Structure 1
Amino acid sequence: MPGPPLPLTRAVTYTRWLHLLVGAILPFVCATVYPGLDSPSPGDWGVIAVLPVPLVLAAAMAPSVRRAEGLQARLMLFPGPHARVTSDEDPGVSAIPSASWADRARTGAWLVLRVELGLAVALVTGQLMALSLSLTGAAAGEPDFADPLLMGGSWPRWVYLLLIPVPLLVLVAGAAAAGALIARAARRLLGPSVKERLSALEERTEQLLERNRIARELHDSLGHALTLAVVQAGAARSAADPQFTDRALEAIEETGRAALEDLERVLFVLRETGRPAGARPTLGEAGRLLDSARSSGAQVHAEVSGPLEHVPGPVSREAYRMLQEALTNVLRHAGPVRIGVRIAVADDRLRLEVRNPLAAATSVTSATGAGGGRGVRGIRERAALLGGEARAGRDGGQWLLHVVLPLR
């Protein structure tokens, strides 16, 4: 397995180097005003290093500066599309404006570090490149380039020729080390604040909840459609009646079309994140579910009481899916049997009951136990999210699913 590329061959080494050199522009601009760049003394360089500090601290007070610095750091300090070696690792650098004084203080510290380290890297870069040029001139036999302090006296040309790449290699190594340092500082000083981390965690939680909801939607819708299709096809084959077969095929077609509409809506949500989804079915369309169950041969007796139109949208949509899952479970495990459905709206509660003969439900209880299987667990999860409750089990000689949902 090949090891990581050397700093000399990594594009990110040079983007970090460039990022540091850009930070040195401000000190040099200030130096042209005072004290000047005409043979500055070490004391002058100290003044040049201090002059930009008040300016960058004042700039850090602008919230947008943090966003600009974060975007630059992401682009130039970490592997990405610009680098030969890409990385899926999150750089851990925020790219949103400052939201607190703590963010502004960290941005100010970052700008000061970037300016001071950039100035040091720029000076070292200039000195080492000048040294390499001097070695090149000495190797070419130019007397003006022979500096005894740098060359150590008069050496053969081939010695100078061999020494030419040494300052450049030292320069690249130093730039790589400074780049790694500034990248590490960027994670600490430009990284997300506690508030930003909490916001990102909440967003991630919302995404996971949405994915879980979409998974339940697909399970309920497609599972219901496939179960009805299997039951109807089996009944049609057993009946050997052309008219019954026609009705079964018509029911399969209608159920399949409804399932395709649900699938298209869910796929639209996945493709168009952030855009509103199409209308989801509510209890007002429960008749479609009951008719589908009847077309499979089940004898469905439904009792509806109370104003369904006053049920809040989220409760009505989830109750529709619960009813769909309950009917699917009965048809899947018990076949076309007598099913009693009761939907009642009263006392700020929505009550949903689905009953079927216990003798036909033994396969469900024996396979999944008294608590029900995956479908019942999904119904319980939906009810819990709405602040309600759902229970399933034996009730006399029947199997009963009972759901209570608050309307407020």
Structure 2
Amino acid sequence: MPGLLLPLTRAVTYTRWLHMLVGAIVPFACAMVYPGLTDPSLDDWLLIAVLPVPLVLAAAVVPSVRRAEGLQARLMLFPGPHARVRTDEDPGVSTVSSASWTDRARTGAWLVLRLETGLAMALVTNELTTLALSLAGATAEDPGLADPILHVSGAGWVYVLLAPVPVLALVMVAAGAGALMARAARRLLGPSVKERLSELEKRTEQLLERNHIARELHDTLGHALTLAVVQAGAARAAGDPDFTDRALEAIEETGRAALEDLDRVLLVLRETGRPAGTRPALGEASRLLESARSSGARVDAEVTGTLEHLPGPVSREAYRMLQEALTNVLRHAGPVRIGVRIAVEEARLRLEVRNPLPAEASMAGTGGGSGLRGIRERAAMLGGEARAGQDGGQWLLHVDLPLR
């Protein structure tokens, strides 16, 4: 029993009820013109239900009508943020204008359903309300307040107990019809296939952008912090004031570059509409190599080909791959000898970074670290591949990227 009375306590029951009654405005307005509302017969009511249909179908052709109906449905057919029964579920009702004739047809079907449901709900509301008033009036020996479905004769206190029954029945009917209208709204006003694909593409782009930003922060901040740790440890171990000054200068330069990258990424997150600045490209690889050398590592670099003419996406992603590779070496092996080879061929860019394996570890085991995974993801995004593993007594990272 408490479950049956639950709709009485939910605000959405009454907003749905009101939404359906509003749909009866058009047929009643038409009925005032023809055939009139003075003692209408059953045939008149059927005519009243049919006459406005062409009108609402014509309205459905207007693209903005779908948007207006979607906004009304969201507002009145589904629980709002202040409802007792909170729900974070998406109503599944579109609030954009019609973009195709399929959308217009679905909107037309919704308007006809709303019109007919509203007319039926208005008639039921009138009859049950009249019956409740007649039962209440019968207790005062005046049952003829209106002409209800069931005629009440005589008077008696028992009518006081019966008077709330039509009201409860009306609320239950409104709750059931409102729930059905909410389901119909999801089907007829829900997103079209095109809108669903567009939303899916938008969410995919957002996820890709988030992953891209995460990789940018990981590479930039990870590189800066690793160099700072290695430089500080080397300066403390050396005990040489000149070396300490050079280490602090390198830490300052690396930290400044990391802050610039961080500001650029945060600028994108803020979505201010301003340009986010240019990302470093492989032509600036010398900065990475000098940072590694300033940490005490011996870097032997071999560059063949022209880096300045690389395609922008390839050059920028290759810079981040080299940055992450050098960071991994310093983090896992320390300031060791590092061999870097960058080769620009006719249609491919090849990048190799090799270093001696630390005595107690093998860099990142089989290459399952987040840094190496990020390098593989970047390479795959460009249609290339990245491999990492032991090569004799060394650790080798090899990246192969197409230029077209």
Task: Give the alignment's TM-score, normalised by structure 1.
Answer: 0.90
| Counterpart residue number, 2:91 | 91
Deviates more, 1:20-29 or 1:71-80: 71-80
Could you say what secondary structure the match of 1:281 adopts? coil
Query: Residues 184-199 of structure 1 correspond to what in structure 2 (within 5 A)?
Result: 184-199=183-198
Q: What is the deviation of 1:80? A: 2.0
| Counterpart residue number, 2:299 | 300
Could you say what secondary structure the match of 1:309 adopts? coil
Q: What is the deviation of 1:48? A: 0.2
Deviates more, 1:6-15 or 1:265-274: 265-274
State whether residues 300 and 341 of structure 1, in contact with CA within 8 Å, keep that contact through their aligned partners in structure 2: yes
Query: Measured at CA, do residues 201 and 146 of structure 1 come closer, stay the same or move farther in structure 2, by a change above 3 Å?
Result: closer
Picking from 348, 363, 377, the partner of 1:381 is 377
Distance 2:3 2:247 in 1: 64
Distance 1:374 1:259 in 2: 19
Deviates more, 1:300-309 or 1:118-127: 300-309
State whether residues 372 and 392 of structure 1, in contact with CA within 8 Å, keep that contact through their aligned partners in structure 2: no
Could you say what secondary structure the match of 1:352 adopts? strand
State whether residues 227 and 327 of structure 2, in contact with CA within 8 Å, keep that contact through their aligned partners in structure 1: yes
Could you say what secondary structure the match of 1:99 adopts? coil
State whether residues 343 and 351 of structure 2, in contact with CA within 8 Å, keep that contact through their aligned partners in structure 1: yes
Query: Measured at CA, do residues 388 and 379 of structure 1 come closer, stay the same or move farther in structure 2, by a change above 3 Å?
Result: same
Task: Give the alignment's TM-score, normalised by structure 2.
Answer: 0.91
Does 1:368 pair with 2:347? no
| Counterpart residue number, 1:176 | 175
Q: Percent identity?
A: 79
2:21 aligned partner, one-letter code:
L
Q: What is the deviation of 1:122? A: 0.9
RMSD of aligned alpha carbons = 2.5
Distance 1:23 1:146 in 2: 24
Does 1:106 pair with 2:106? yes
Distance 1:223 1:154 in 2: 89
**What is the count of residue pairs matched by the alignment?**
403
Query: Measured at CA, do residues 57 and 273 of structure 1 come closer, stay the same or move farther in structure 2, by a change above 3 Å?
Result: farther
Distance 1:148 1:226 in 2: 82
Deviates more, 1:2-11 or 1:85-94: 2-11
Q: What is the deviation of 1:57? A: 1.4
Gaps of 5+ in 2: none
Query: Residues 255-404 of structure 1 correspond to what in structure 2 (within 5 A)?
Result: 255-272=254-271, 277-357=276-356, 359-360=357-358, 363-365=361-363, 368-369=365-366, 371=367, 373-404=369-400
Distance 1:35 1:341 in 2: 90
Query: Measured at CA, do residues 159 and 260 of structure 1 come closer, stay the same or move farther in structure 2, by a change above 3 Å?
Result: farther
1:189 aligned partner, one-letter code:
L
Distance 2:172 2:322 in 1: 68
Could you say what secondary structure the match of 1:80 adopts? coil
Q: What is the deviation of 1:195? A: 2.3
Distance 2:337 2:264 in 1: 32
